[in-house]
Structure 1
Amino acid sequence: MDRQEQFRKQVRVIYQLLKVVVSIIIIVAIAGIYLIVDPSFSVFKKSAPDSAYIVVQEDEEDRIENGIHVRSGLVEAEGLMEVVNNCTNCHSSKLVIQNRMTAERWIATIRWMQETQNLWDLGGNEEIIVNYLVTNYPPIKKGRRENLRNVEWYDLQN
């Protein structure tokens, strides 16, 4: 090998090392910027033990205020936690609240969810859930709106 070839080989090695060093600097810079923007970045944060999380979850999420379950917005009554544990795993409690139905319709809806939406067998909880829903969210009788009275009609001008 002549000197020029050796020089080129050394330049290539230095170039490769320089690429690695620059890449590391870029990664460290991005991580630093991310920490400035989001200091709670989970890789650098110590996690709380599981038991501490559970205590917070029980205290905060299952709180009742003014007869309402805070997390779900459902009425506090017998069967509340069965509804929370079985219904709100898949959808919002607001969906439950707005769909006021009779016991027969709730049972038909549960069967539909079991057949098409992979809802598990509710076992003995089914009766508790249906009773809770029918008692606390019964169908609201909606009739035709009342006729308009004492209306001053006028012609529209072109």
Structure 2
Amino acid sequence: MEDHKKFRLLVKAIYRLLLSLFGLFAVMVFTLLFIMYNPDLFKKADLNVGEEKQYVAVTDEEDFDKIENGIHLRTGLVDAEGLMTVVNNCTNCHSAKLVTQNRMNKERWVSTIRWMQETQNLWDLGPNEEVIVNYLVTNYPPSKKGRREILKDIEWYVLK
């Protein structure tokens, strides 16, 4: 009787192993087919960053830096003078959203750049620093409003 239980456990283990291997094989086949029928998905765009080159996957080279309604679609940044300098220098390390949510004046942007250079290994921006700071100060200045405006003229009532 004991041998029968061991045999059944062994059969179950082999069955699970074979099922797992079949699942893995199926995923590999579907992945291979997907890659074969979508070759443009893995084109590479060359982003020059100083001496280094960075490669990113793009779906369509024509749409890579497309601007629509004054917005750079890939990053969401405003289309203005200095946009591509900001894209090429800032979005290599972090999201453009980090740039747009941190609205600062010129002194604070310069201070933030110095902090990134001292602690985050940001390279020397050279003449690009002025272009970047001017773009950021012009297009993402500090906002006077907080999260929402103060409520005014509210007629309050007591809940019963």
Higher strand share: 2
Letter in 2 for 1:33: A
Structure 1 or 2, whichever has the larger Rg, is 1
TM-score normalized with structure 1 length: 0.65
> In the alignment, what sits opposite 1:40?
31
Please give the TM-score of this superposition, normalised by the length of structure 2. Answer: 0.64
Matches within 5 A, 1:1-158: 29=22, 32-36=25-29, 39-41=30-32, 45=36, 53-54=44-45, 58-142=61-145, 145-146=149-150, 148-154=152-158
Runs of 4+ displaced beyond 6 Å: none
Task: Give me the CA root mean square deviation.
Answer: 3.5
| Structure 1: gaps spanning 5 or more residues | 1-25
CA shift for structure 1 position 146: 3.8
Matches of 1:148 and 1:56, distance apart in 2? 48
Q: CA deviation at 1:46?
A: 9.4
For the residue of structure 2 that corresponds to 1:59, the secondary structure is: helix
Tell me the percent identity.
Answer: 57
Aligned length in residues: 129
Structure 2 unmatched ranges of 5 or more: 1-17, 46-57
Distance 1:126 1:35 in 2: 46
In the TM superposition, residue 45 of structure 1 has moved relative to its aligned partner by 4.7
Judged with a 3 Å threshold, the aligned counterparts in structure 2 of structure 1 residues 59 and 150 are, in CA distance, closer, same or farther, namely closer
Aligned-partner SS, 1:41: helix
Give me the whole-angstrom Cα distance separating, in 2, the residues matched to 1:34 and 1:150: 59
Counterpart CA distance in 1 for 2:31 and 2:152 is 60
Residue 75 of structure 1 aligns with an amino acid whose one-letter code is V
Deviations 1:106-155, CA, capped at 9 Å, x for gaps: 0000001111111111111000000000111111113695464352343x
- The separation in 1 between residues aligned to 2:59 and 2:38, in whole angstroms, is 14
